[in-house]
Structure 1
Amino acid sequence: MDQEAPLKGQGETSRIARQVTCERCPLRPLPVFRPFEKRELAFVNEFKRGELSVDRGATLLAEGSHSAHLFTVLSGWGFRYKLLADGRRQILNYVLPGDMIGLQGSLMGEMQHSVEALSPMLLCMFERDRLMELYRDHPGLAYDVTWIAAREERMLDENLLSVGRRSALERAAYLLAFIASRAGKVGMNGNGGTDIPITQQHIADTLGLSLVHTNKTIRRLIDRKLVRWGDGGCRLLDVEGLMRLAGWSGLDEGVRPLL
């Protein structure tokens, strides 16, 4: 199976193929993910249609669209967002390996937000029509899907609290520490810090700040030697320092499911 996929974006390529079985998934051995029972793993392997690879800037899912598929991120970075009628954008959350996207469209008929790739991404693609089979025959996996939805709600609660009550400096520190903490759980931290492929416009659209205000706020983080900014995005130099500045105690998830 190898065909073009109908994704939107500027000059991106998208291709569906089958290369990685669920038994050999590179994410599954990570300690953050719960192990599957043999029967569950066999079903998920059949549930999966293939892998979808996309370039940076591709729109994976569009608000108002009807998607026949669910996706789990295998590698790369993305973000979820909504647009106002005049084009103003609010970034809702960031998408990392192990995250599921498209569940909302599967259960509510159409997507209520859009998802864009921040970097080249590889996604496991699942048939939406088999979701009821999962709920009927695999209660453990059904619980996992419910847990994933509850986790997303919890993250949005934390993000709304930050946007509503933290100062601009605290908001920026929280956001970067939050993303870095999630990235560390799935092995995306490199030597010397965490590299996040975002622009200051992404930060502004997440925090509800103007680009000028965001630039001044980021400059204060740079002056404190907490982050470094370059053409490829942001390098986090001191995540614990960002957490202290934000007054945030960090993630407390334990082991979580991976579909």
Structure 2
Amino acid sequence: MKDGQPNTAGAGRTDCAHCPLGKLDHFRRFDDDEQDYVEGFKTGELITETGATIIVDGAHNAHLYTLLSGWAFRYKIMEDGRRQILNYAVPGDLLGLQGSITGEMQHSVEALSPLTLCVFERDRVNELFSNHPDLAFDITWIAAREERILDEHLLSIGRRSAYERAAYLLAFLNRRGRLSGILTSKHNVIPITQQHVADTLGLSIVHTNKTLKKLKDRKLIAWGDGGCRVIDENQLAEIAGWEETEEKRRPFI
């Protein structure tokens, strides 16, 4: 990584025809023309370790990324060093789209676990709208969905109690992890720390620790060195008063 720009030299490449995301029921299938275009649109793959910065706030990044495997999070840092985590990314999510509109990124993205990302040239996004309207609609859908998620996060911070906020966040992350295929019965730990939770919910680490202990005591979650394992997603959602709209097969690029 140099000046916020990834180096894709020597990176491996997953054939789009055999994309692991396309095999999951959660994602829509490309037709042959779309698959050929996406294969040509993709310039390579980026593989990073936990803690790597993928996108830098204020940078003019030349790339878009689709998260192929792993967890990441979007965040902003205040002048005094305080961090606000805005959202989390799971396989199938598009990173860097904001820069295609504004010219520079207004947030940073960090790897929460080892990542593999498909890399695309940001300057070619207009081709989608000119030549592949269905794919262009997919990008619009992804942006609208991100807005809906952020609306729910804002509601959580503004109106839910600390207990409800924590329940919502963990139910939300667990559901997204399950649907994207990154959480399975064998690998079912969300790789976050209590500091990540605190920085997402706008709470002190002490308050966060006490709140998570209440959920743990009710046997709704289990916490270990590797992160959080959700035991009862439905009960967490009920505590938060959160009803997620069921999605049909969602698009990805």
TM-score tier after normalising by the smaller chain length: over 0.9
Per-residue deviation, 1:7: 6.7
Q: Output the amino acid matched with 2:179.
A: K
Aligned to 1:147: 141
Q: What is the CA-CA distance between 1:253 and the residue it aligns to? A: 2.0
* Counterpart residue identity of residue 171, structure 2: A
Distance in 2 between residues matched to 1:102 and 1:211, nearest whole Å: 29
**SS class of match (1:235):** strand
Name the counterpart of 2:2. 6
Residue 175 of structure 1 corresponds to 169
CA distance in 1, matches of 2:235, 2:3: 39
How far apart, in 1, do the equivalents of 2:161 and 2:245 lie? 21
Aligned to 2:201: 207
CA contact (8 A) 1:52 1:125 kept: yes
Deviations 1:211-240 (A, max 9, x none): 000000011011000111111111111111
2:247 alignment counterpart: 253
The one-letter amino acid of 1:33's match is F
Query: Are residues 70 and 193 of structure 1, via their aligned partners in 2, closer, same or farther at CA, if it must alter by over 3 Å?
Result: closer
**Which residue does the alignment assign to 2:155?**
161
- Distance (whole Å) between structure 2 residues aligned to residue 205 and residue 225 of structure 1: 23
Unaligned runs of 5+ in 1: none
Q: Deviations over 1:152-207 (max 9, x none)?
A: 00000011011111110000000000011111111223227831000000000000
* Consecutive aligned runs of 4 or more in structure 1 exceeding 6 Å deviation: none
Q: CA RMSD, aligned part only?
A: 1.6
Residue 191 of structure 1 aligns with which residue? 185
Report what 2:95 is aligned to: 101
**Alignment CA distance shift 1:192-1:122 (3 Å):** closer
Matching residue's letter, 2:146:
E
Instruction: Identify unmatched segments of 5+ residues in structure 2.
Output: none
Matches within 5 A, 1:1-259: 5-6=1-2, 16-191=10-185, 194-259=188-253
Native 8 Å contact 1:181 1:250 kept in 2: no
Whether the aligned pair in 1 keeps the contact of 2:8 and 2:45 (CA below 8 Å) is no
CA drift of 1:107 comes to: 1.5
8 Å CA contact 1:14, 1:54 repeated in 2: no
What's the % identity of the aligned pairs?
Answer: 59
> Residues 126, 192 of structure 1: CA spacing in aligned structure 2 closer, same or farther, 3 A cutoff?
closer
Partner amino acid, structure 2, of 1:202: H
TM-score, normalization by structure 2: 0.95
Cα 1:149–1:218 change in 2 (3 A) is: same
- In structure 1, C-alpha distance between the alignment counterparts of 2:182 and 2:34, rounded to whole Å: 27
CA distance in 2 between counterparts of 1:160 and 1:84 reads 18
Q: CA deviation at 1:78?
A: 0.5
Deviations 1:67-123 (A, max 9, x none): 110000000000000111111111000010000000001221000000000000000
- Distance in 1 separating the partners of 2:230 and 2:184: 10
- Give the TM-score taking structure 1 as reference length: 0.93
- Cα separation, 1, equivalents of 2:226 and 2:186: 16
Q: Residue type matched to 1:55 in 2?
A: E
- Kept in 1, the 8 Å contact 2:166–2:201? The answer is yes
